[in-house]
Structure 1
Amino acid sequence: MSPKPRSFLASPEGLQKLEAAKAELNLSFAAIAKQAGVSADTVSRLFHPERGKRVSEASLTAIAQILAVVPEDIVAAEKMSQKDGVAEAKRRIQEAIKSKATELSLSDLELTSVPKELYQLNQLIQLDLSQNQLTSVPQELGQLNNLTYLSLSQNQLTSIPKELGQLNNLTNLDLFRNQLTSIPKELSQLNNLEFLNLGKNQLISIPKRLYKLNNLIQVVLDDNQLTSIPRELGQLNNLTDLYLFGNQLTSIPKELGQLNSLTELHLDENQLTSIPKELSQLNNLTLLSLSENQLTSIPKELDQLTNLTKLFLHENEQLGISAEILGSTWQEVNSGATPSKPADILNYYFRIQTDRQPLNEAKLILVGFGAVGKTSLVNRLIHNTFDPDSKKTEGINITQWPLQLNQNEDITLHVWDFGGQEIMHSTHQFFLTERSLYLLVLNGRQGHEDADAEYWLELIQSFGGDSPIIVVLNKVEEHPFDINRRALQQKFPNIREFIQTDCQTEIGIHTLRTAIERETDRLEHLRDPFPSSWFEIKKRLSDMTANYISFEKYREICQADGEPDPSAQNSLAVHLHSLGIALNYRQDSRLRDTHVLNPHWVTNGIYKLLNDHDLTKANGELDINCLNRLLDPKDYPLERHDFLLGLMRKFELCFPFQEDDKRYLIPDLLDKQQPEAASQFELPDCLNFRYEYPILPEGLLPRFIVRTHVLSDHQLRWRTGVILNFEGNQALVKADPQDKSVSISVNGPLSSRRRLLAIIRSDFDRIHSNFKFTPKELVPVPGYPNITVSYKDLLIRESKGRQSFEEVVGDELIDLNVQDLLNGVDIEGSRQRLSDIERRNQALKLFYSYSHKDETLRNQLDTHLKILQRQKLIQPWHDRCIVAGTDWAKEIDDNLKRADIILLLISADFIASDYCYEIELKQAMEHHQAGKARVIPIIMRPADWKNTPFSDLQAFPTNATPITSWSDRDEAWLNVETAIREVVEDIKAQRYR
């Protein structure tokens, strides 16, 4: 079987057939796109082959099916051999000569040289020669003096001709990912240049003359070998973005402080020990990234950067800033996490320079299955007592253990003893934290100690990161046993020691206590600096007997004990949350007003529900009117029920039924039996995908069911599986605990199966982002559904230009096409190979403004927009994304200011909400009118909005018919998704024109 072409262009004859079919069926590009399950841009590319933008086979087949034409009759196949690439390049050039085209793409054609015919195209404005095999560029390229855009990225260029300096009209020059060691000084003649990308080359210096290019807006110099930056760089006073990360810089010139227009400065991954105080003059700076340097100090003047919204100082150990204060890394923020406030980081840093003590506190976490003796170990270690009849731990017990290290250093360990019952494991993960010491407790009663050890060690590694682990082989007098220590330590290098113990006879207890003291002493963040006034606040909170206080009461306590700064109060709340002293979830409007002083109160309340026999019999269906019966009213009064349910929703343990918000479903308590209907999904007839895990985390499928519940309404759900419904397709998603895998099978209309699979994979991506391990993604071979190939390996083959490979299936050796397999499971645009800079800039920030009474509808919209998110076109944000301990109102304001697109989810409740209408709407309209953002009203439920400030804007769905009024809700959401996609493409076209 010979490999099929990777992608296609319509031939002249094929284009005529396409146009005829389109006219006969009276379909627009948007209508074809909707029915074929592709973007309107894809359809447009197929109908405009002169642009040189190819279409994948999957997209071609889907479009051809809608237009009732034979794919082979309409395309000119592109086989990516070098010979065919040259021929195709010459064909495109001749077509461009004939049509007097101003744009030409010769990208990804395996070219090793530029065809001479190209130089006849004097009218060209945009030329793309990226992703070829060019080692040099002829000087004649400098004759195309009408060019404004030239891309030579991702080739193998070692030099570029000085004649490129003659391209006087050039505004964008992309030389990313080549092998350049220098650039000619003549480039300084490109007086109109605005964008210059020299990232990922081998440059050791930049000609000083280049800094005469005063029109430069963005300069990309990341991942080169630069050791210094000339002070002349400070003359580029129109520069807004400067990327210098991944070099070998030891200092930066103070003249950078003259770049008054600069908004983003990326200096991470260098060797900087200090930064000049003159950077404080960059009044427009919004992002400053200095992670992974060797900084020893920060100039006090930096707190004058009042427009700064993102500051990254991670992995600068000598600064002494704790991870809780630093917050999310750039990579995490780029994936949707909310950054810490720069003011909080700087306030903490400057405070600890003059007023600090070492924290001297850490977390000791005991895990293991039930009845292995964890609680007995805690009692023997801390109190030197033993009770053979002690009750099993229900939930989590937390105990303070005062220790003395190095003879005179007082330390407090916060000991968390986790119950071992299986139903609790899915909840434990929310309290398993990094920067802790772990005790894994095993015993030999059941006879599968090695398997138990592997399970818990994978779980610790996933949620505890690089935390040290002591493996305790307990009850060795009663049940003598051992495990494969060397193999486990080789696989899990964070294991520090294996210790045999018996609490009744005290065997090994002294050895264990000594090991705990030693490993505690070595904990990297044990002695983090802590402002002195914070100790008084922490002590006062610890001494209080109440289960919880309001956050306002917490602020009053801070004020009274010497911490008046709200920013510092928030930082302290994050610290206390991390240590487990006081839990705070101010990121969630359902939880922000409660400051939990007794973590037992939270964990015990949740575990009471998870362990309730009646709820289990009811398959996890909870009526909130029953909470008074399930929970002790003295500890859990009626006014705190919403908090507990809100916390369970935050942890993705439950969700409200759409038709009745007084009833909730807890998927962890669903029936274990798989329904008969699941057998109706025949693998050969489905689009299939599979995940394999080193361990299958407890609660994985219940969490997925919560995340996707809007798609499983009135569908079957069970504890390890669910059936989803979307746009006429159904998907069976089920976990196999024995195989440690999750399988996905989608049936229904061929044209839209991949859209549902994309949504499913997007939700799993978000869940997997909480794990330290990466599950294997497997693509079943069409026609052989039980044979799978690695998705990661397919991506590697594609990136290396491999079109096909051989695979053994049964007794046969068959050829498999790489792009056929990938395109079968991916939606278009989700596999773009992006540079770091493109990743930093690509996704548009989308802000939801909505009433919480419309949260179910917002969840439905969010589900439909996951396709745009997976294609890296948008980065959605709503108030449920706020991180713990932050000022929620400030977070909303900051994210609203940064938004490129603002969605107004219109209903009577939205209009009636003072916050939505008076604050968010007002600011959104100001940004819209100033051209800073695009506002899109989406009519969710009937409401009188004709006399509102947004009444002149185009509202969606079509004809502003409310979503809830559509008989086909999927069609309504698809209408909205298409509208948002068009806005995204329009913004990008204008921004990068």
Structure 2
Amino acid sequence: MANRCQHLFEKIREAKEKRLKELDLSNHWNTDAKEKLTEIPAEVFELEWLEVLNLRCNQLTTLPEAIAKLRQLTSLDLTNNQLTTLPEALAKLRQFTSLDLTNNQLTTLPEALAKLQQLTKLNLSYNQLTTLPEAIARLQHLTSLNLNHNQLTTLPEAITKLRQLTSLNLSHNKITTLPEALAKLQQLTSLNLSYNKITTLPEALAKLQQLTSLNLNHNKITTLPEAITKLQQLTKLYLSYNKITTLPEAIAKLQQLTKLNLSYNQLTTLPEAITKLQQLTSLDLSHNTIEKPPPEILAKGIKAIQNYFRQLEVEGTDYLYEAKLLIVGEGGAGKTTLAKKIEDQNYQLREENSTKGIEVIQWRFPMENEREFRVNIWDFGGQEIYHATHQFFLTKRSLYVLVADTRKEDTDFYYWLNVVELLSDNSPLLIIKNEKQNRHREINELQLRGQFTNLKETLATNLATNRDLEKVLEQIKHHVKNLPHIGSPLPKTWVRVREALESDARNYISLDEYLNICEQNGFTHRKDKLQLSGYLHDLGVCLHFQEDPILNKTVILKPKWGTDAVYKVLDNEKVIRNLGNFTRFDLANIWCEDEYATMHDELLRLMINFKLCYEIPRSQEKYIAPQLLSANQPSYDWDKTNNLILRYTYDFMPKGIITQFIVVMHELINEQQCVWKNGVVLSKDQTKAEVIEYYGKREIEIRVSGHHKRDLMTVVIHELDKIHNSYQRLKYDKLIPCNCYAICKDSQEPHFYPFETLRKFVADNQEGIQCQKSYQMVKVSGLIDDVIKGGKERFFVEQLRVEPNYPQSPQISSNININLNQAQEQNQIRQKENNSMSTVNQYGYGDNVGGDKVMRDKIGTQINNSQNLTQAAKDIKELLNQLSQEYSNTAIVGVKAVEEIEQKPKLKARIINALKEAGSEALEKAVDHPAVSIVIAAAKGFMDT
């Protein structure tokens, strides 16, 4: 062992020679099991003056009785070892104040533990405990007890006797009920009971008057008792992933509440009392079925919700009976005929030209309450060129009609049902069979219903004779009137402005004109006016891109005007002939009508926003619409040696993913040579990435070759994942290639592992996985490291962003959150050895660059205590401390801190300035927290972007 762990023995000798009071024998950096301690060296027990001993991340299975010799020890960290029992001798360490036994194999605790009378912090998370000894009740100075990720089924009575306890974490256990005795913990400020099986909350919970944070995420709670509203000091309340149906009005009493998470419950309404929580800054109501306020308002956050209720109260309530009906299907199926027949049943059939883009017809019918219902019918062109634009117009909370021509039998029902399910968040859909010449066609309706829950009816009609047309119209009326947003109360001013905009004959108006219309109809606050335009934009009633510096100055009243302009370009013969290439001069000819005369900049920006075209870099205003590029892959040289390969496979693949990607990445296309309709070759820093879509196989494959393969691969993955995330229901697998030396290492056809499988392996501490081609075992961490920049750390940060409560092992956390002193020592060693220093690219993680000068150019190396640095460090430390109380997992803390910094522009700016002035080392020294490495990495990323 001496040879294997020589670096640790050097530390022990140094501690002996200098009589150091702290000794760090942890193995944060080392993933090689051979380099880890399997027993504590006897020399350690000679250091009787030691006060702090760190043995994290080794492979200790037992603690020797000799541990009792370290009588001065106050803190012992045994995180991430393999201990199954604790020795009685531990009880002799009477100076102990902190004991960390996270991630071991303990099933029981010795009674002797109760003799550690000075203990204030005890961490027993990630073990196999099913119960606690009654003797633990004697730890009367204990203030923090962490028992998350164990096998507890009840809250041990002994815990309720720990009267000094301020923090109690019982998450990820199997607790079903909470005892009334819980009320005895009068000093408790933080209580985490997430990931249990609790169904009800006891009234006694109200007696925990010092409680500031209560986490009940992932339980089975159905009702929230009013007693909880007596917790007057509560600032954070987490109730996501339960079965709560209503909120009590008394929730308004929680006046100190700043964060409330109610996502993934069964709420249908939100009480107005929520607006009386004046300190509330974060409210998550996602994945409920709330109809009041409308989901478009809910999505905007607490301020928008408060404004909505305030306007309802001040202005009174009205209702908007208006909906969108979208007709889709293959070209020539009869979509336009159906739209005309809905508008006028007496419409006579004629030879219809194929719809170019989208036609919009308005249909009105009377309701039982004598109000008029308005339906905006959108008739979509069936040509494939339009399919890539569906994602911009297939809106939620609309009714869809799929028209099928029974003579042709060419309708791809699975394609259209998948498109609607994916892009409209499962909006209701009717299949209407247009039985031309009364030709009947059977479809497997039972099978379709089993796969698509949004399929409501399958109806047959003959549009030439109007047979059963009345039944079709009745079903459309029924389903359109029962859409979730119909009948939702809206402030009267909103309804008046909507009617004023609808009666305006113009295609678009300036923002100032829109604001004046709002003023004339009772609006007084600018933010309320913009909230309404955002609501109407989300509904697809009008278009107002508030975040775009060009488009925000215009409100497009008739969306069809904008879409017609876009399709004029995509349908233009010259543009098609030129394989998607066009110029400003071409646009002047295409948009020559008076209605477009002064709006060329805005319309071009609309196309760029929709990722339908891009400007060729360093060209004289030349543009490309990639969906019109040649389908032929150009010939180019490719070095097949030592490639990085990644593959995406899709359950259903919407059209347009690759063309969107081409638009986003167009600046890396070398002279626009290697780009075609289904793929692109990107070039950066002597590295090339080939990204090809195989639509028939529902697959995108990436190959990267050159000097900085992982850097470019990370960029490609990042941008593709952003596109994927824009589709809420998209199901796909990210496949990581095998790197076994026998077959896969340099192969163009390696074995692939699903990303989710690797994630589960790492979470379960499984180091190896078998290649199914060579049958060799390969390291899981190495698979991820080989492909994605930042390796396992980035892998888990990405997952935590999507799934912030993912139950992650502390072994992983320790790999992410490295000890900062060690990090600084490693950096100094690298500097001395004249190796390349580690900086961080815009994606947040290390990037080897040549020489110290690059580092200086990036963030500066002069360390000073500027005001920016001091304040940034202080703010980050405070933020991290707050998050630590909410989350037991330090990796989650780091990720959540990054997310919060992103939402705090002033703090973000201070961090950037501090890094520029002082360099990253100064900030790392200023903030002593295990999650800070992620924050620092992200901060450097902020700078680069």
- What band does the TM-score fall into relative to the shorter chain? 0.7 to 0.9
| Post-superposition offset of 1:271 | 3.4
Structure 1's 131 and 831: CA in aligned 2 closer, same or farther, altered over 3 A? Answer: farther
Structure 1's 506 and 276: CA in aligned 2 closer, same or farther, altered over 3 A? Answer: closer
Counterpart of 1:592 in 2: which secondary structure? helix
Once structures 1 and 2 are overlaid, which stretch shifts more, 581-590 or 275-284? 275-284
Residue number in structure 2 paired with 1:273: 246
Once structures 1 and 2 are overlaid, which stretch shifts more, 440-449 or 98-107? 98-107
Are residue 676 (structure 1) and residue 635 (structure 2) matched? yes
Residue number in structure 2 paired with 1:53: 28
Q: Do the aligned partners of 1:688 and 1:744 also contact (CA within 8 Å) in 2?
A: yes
Q: Deviations over 1:312-367 (max 9, x none)?
A: 44576687322122116xxxxxxxxx776342343366579x6233x332221111
Q: 2:693 aligns with which of 735, 741, 757?
A: 735
Are residue 367 (structure 1) and residue 328 (structure 2) matched? yes
Q: Do the aligned partners of 1:757 and 1:825 also contact (CA within 8 Å) in 2?
A: yes
Q: 2:554 aligns with which of 587, 594, 597?
A: 594
Q: 1:723 aligns with which of 656, 669, 681?
A: 681
Q: In structure 1, list runs of 5 or more residues that go unmatched.
A: 1-7, 19-47, 58-71, 80-84, 329-337, 845-861, 871-896, 903-923, 939-949, 960-978, 989-993
Q: Do the aligned partners of 1:303 and 1:343 also contact (CA within 8 Å) in 2?
A: yes
Are residue 341 (structure 1) and residue 334 (structure 2) matched? no
Counterpart of 2:458 in 1: which secondary structure? strand
Partner AA of 1:866 in structure 2? Y
Residue number in structure 2 paired with 1:774: 731
Q: Do the aligned partners of 1:444 and 1:480 also contact (CA within 8 Å) in 2?
A: yes
State how far apart, in whole Å, the 1-side matches of 2:64 and 2:575 are: 67
State how far apart, in whole Å, the 1-side matches of 2:770 and 2:493 are: 67
Q: How does 1:131-146 map to 2 (within 5 A)?
A: 131-144=103-116
Residue number in structure 1 paired with 2:792: 828
Structure 1's 509 and 132: CA in aligned 2 closer, same or farther, altered over 3 A? Answer: farther
Residue number in structure 1 paired with 2:20: none
State how far apart, in whole Å, the 2-side matches of 1:381 and 1:178 are: 62
Q: Do the aligned partners of 2:428 and 2:454 also contact (CA within 8 Å) in 1?
A: yes
Residue number in structure 1 paired with 2:281: 309
Q: How does 1:74-93 map to 2 (within 5 A)?
A: 75-76=35-36, 88-90=60-62
Are residue 175 (structure 1) and residue 147 (structure 2) matched? yes
Partner AA of 1:780 in structure 2? P
| Post-superposition offset of 1:459 | 0.9
| Post-superposition offset of 1:498 | 2.8
State how far apart, in whole Å, the 2-side matches of 1:775 and 1:123 are: 54
Residue number in structure 2 paired with 1:650: 609
Residue number in structure 2 paired with 1:762: 718
Q: 1:262 aligns with which of 235, 238, 248?
A: 235
State how far apart, in whole Å, the 2-side matches of 1:94 and 1:717 are: 69
Q: How does 1:262-661 map to 2 (within 5 A)?
A: 262-263=235-236, 266=239, 269-271=242-244, 273-277=246-250, 279-280=252-253, 282-283=255-256, 285-287=258-260, 289=262, 292-293=265-266, 298=271, 300=273, 302-313=274-285, 320-327=292-299, 341-347=304-310, 350=313, 355-357=317-319, 359-384=320-345, 385-404=347-366, 410-443=372-405, 448-449=410-411, 452-474=412-434, 476-477=436-437, 481-624=441-584, 626-638=586-598, 640-659=599-618
Q: Do the aligned partners of 1:200 and 1:222 also contact (CA within 8 Å) in 2?
A: yes
Q: Do the aligned partners of 2:662 and 2:680 also contact (CA within 8 Å) in 1?
A: yes
Structure 1's 661 and 937: CA in aligned 2 closer, same or farther, altered over 3 A? Answer: farther
Partner AA of 2:842 in structure 1? L
Q: Do the aligned partners of 1:435 and 1:464 also contact (CA within 8 Å) in 2?
A: yes
Q: Do the aligned partners of 1:731 and 1:745 also contact (CA within 8 Å) in 2?
A: yes
State how far apart, in whole Å, the 1-side matches of 2:487 and 2:553 are: 31
Counterpart of 2:736 in 1: which secondary structure? strand
Residue number in structure 1 paired with 2:758: 794
State how far apart, in whole Å, the 2-side matches of 1:548 and 1:318 are: 32
Counterpart of 1:530 in 2: which secondary structure? strand
| Post-superposition offset of 1:511 | 3.6
Counterpart of 1:539 in 2: which secondary structure? helix
Q: Deviations over 1:229-251 (max 9, x none)?
A: 44664654472565566342634
Once structures 1 and 2 are overlaid, which stretch shifts more, 231-240 or 685-694? 231-240
Structure 1's 398 and 293: CA in aligned 2 closer, same or farther, altered over 3 A? Answer: same
Residue identity over aligned pairs, in percent, reads 25
Q: Do the aligned partners of 2:211 and 2:231 also contact (CA within 8 Å) in 1?
A: no
State how far apart, in whole Å, the 2-side matches of 1:958 and 1:618 are: 54
Residue number in structure 2 paired with 1:35: none
State how far apart, in whole Å, the 1-side matches of 2:183 and 2:2 are: 40
Q: How does 1:833-848 map to 2 (within 5 A)?
A: none
Structure 1's 402 and 987: CA in aligned 2 closer, same or farther, altered over 3 A? Answer: closer
Q: Deviations over 1:818-860 (max 9, x none)?
A: 55544444522234486955899x999xxxxxxxxxxxxxxxx
Q: How does 1:909-928 map to 2 (within 5 A)?
A: none
Structure 1's 217 and 271: CA in aligned 2 closer, same or farther, altered over 3 A? Answer: closer
State how far apart, in whole Å, the 1-side matches of 2:570 and 2:370 are: 44
Are residue 12 (structure 1) and residue 5 (structure 2) matched? yes
State how far apart, in whole Å, the 1-side matches of 2:405 and 2:82 are: 61
Counterpart of 2:430 in 1: which secondary structure? strand
Q: How does 1:812-823 map to 2 (within 5 A)?
A: 818-823=780-785
Q: Do the aligned partners of 2:784 and 2:795 also contact (CA within 8 Å) in 1?
A: no
Structure 1's 673 and 986: CA in aligned 2 closer, same or farther, altered over 3 A? Answer: closer
Q: Deviations over 1:852-876 (max 9, x none)?
A: xxxxxxxxxx994334599xxxxxx
Q: Deviations over 1:768-811 (max 9, x none)?
A: 223213112223333342533333233334444555565654xx
Structure 1's 265 and 248: CA in aligned 2 closer, same or farther, altered over 3 A? Answer: closer
Q: Deviations over 1:630-658 (max 9, x none)?
A: 213511233x3332233333323334445
Residue number in structure 1 paired with 2:212: 239
Q: Do the aligned partners of 2:135 and 2:158 also contact (CA within 8 Å) in 1?
A: yes
Structure 1's 427 and 103: CA in aligned 2 closer, same or farther, altered over 3 A? Answer: farther
Q: Do the aligned partners of 1:180 and 1:203 also contact (CA within 8 Å) in 2?
A: no
Counterpart of 2:187 in 1: which secondary structure? coil
Once structures 1 and 2 are overlaid, which stretch shifts more, 735-744 or 388-397? 388-397
State how far apart, in whole Å, the 1-side matches of 2:3 and 2:877 are: 35
State how far apart, in whole Å, the 1-side matches of 2:586 and 2:278 are: 50
State how far apart, in whole Å, the 2-side matches of 1:748 and 1:145 are: 61
Counterpart of 2:731 in 1: which secondary structure? coil
Structure 1's 234 and 351: CA in aligned 2 closer, same or farther, altered over 3 A? Answer: farther
| Post-superposition offset of 1:304 | 3.6
| Post-superposition offset of 1:512 | 2.4
Residue number in structure 2 paired with 1:159: 131
Structure 1's 987 and 207: CA in aligned 2 closer, same or farther, altered over 3 A? Answer: farther
State how far apart, in whole Å, the 1-side matches of 2:399 and 2:107 are: 53
Ranked by relative contact order (alpha carbons within 8 Å, sequence separation 6 or more), the top structure is 1
| Post-superposition offset of 1:735 | 0.5
| Post-superposition offset of 1:954 | 1.0
Partner AA of 1:139 in structure 2? E
Structure 1's 362 and 52: CA in aligned 2 closer, same or farther, altered over 3 A? Answer: same
Q: 1:954 aligns with which of 910, 917, 921?
A: 917
State how far apart, in whole Å, the 2-side matches of 1:52 and 1:551 are: 60
Partner AA of 1:216 in structure 2? T
Structure 1's 509 and 868: CA in aligned 2 closer, same or farther, altered over 3 A? Answer: farther
Partner AA of 2:26 in structure 1? R
Q: Do the aligned partners of 1:369 and 1:442 also contact (CA within 8 Å) in 2?
A: yes
Partner AA of 1:954 in structure 2? E
Q: Do the aligned partners of 1:288 and 1:312 also contact (CA within 8 Å) in 2?
A: yes
Counterpart of 2:696 in 1: which secondary structure? coil
State how far apart, in whole Å, the 2-side matches of 1:378 and 1:124 are: 79
State how far apart, in whole Å, the 1-side matches of 2:185 and 2:401 are: 61
